[in-house]
Amino acid sequence: MTGAAGEGGAFFGRRKGKKLRAGQAGLFETLLPALRVDPARDLAEPAGLFGRPVREVWLEIGFGGGEHLLARARQNPDVGFIGCEPFVNGMAKLLAAIDAGKLDNVRLYDADATDVVEALPAGSIARVILLYPDPWPKRRHHKRRFVSDAMLAKLARVLRPGGSFWFASDIDHYVGWTLARVLRSPDFVWEAAGAADWREPFPGWPGTRYEAKALREGRPPSYLRIRRR
What tens digit of pLDDT does each residue of 24-63 get?
Answer: 788 999 999 999 999 999 999 999 999 999 999 999 999 9
- Which residues are known catalytic residues? 134
Residue positions forming the annotated binding site for S-adenosyl-L-methionine: 60, 85, 112, 134
Annotated binding residues for substrate, written as ranges, equal 138, 170, 208-211
Which CATH number covers residue 101?
Answer: 3.40.50.150
Convert the chain into a string of H (helix), E (strand) and C (coil). CCCCEECCEECCCCCCCCCCCHHHHHHHHHCHHHHECCCCCCCCCHHHHHCCCCCEEEEEECCCCCHHHHHHHHHCCCEEEEEECCCHHHHHHHHHHHHHHCCCCEEEECCCHHHHHHHCCCCCEEEEEEECCCCCCCHHHHHHCCCCHHHHHHHHHHEEEEEEEEEEECCHHHHHHHHHHHHCCCCEEECCCCCCHHHCCCCCCCCCHHHHHHHHCCCCCEEEEEEEC
For residue range 99-109, list pLDDT tens digits in order: 999 999 999 99
pTM of the predicted structure, to 2 decimals: 0.91
Number of domains observed in the structure of the chain: 1
Residue 203 sits in which domain range? 5-228
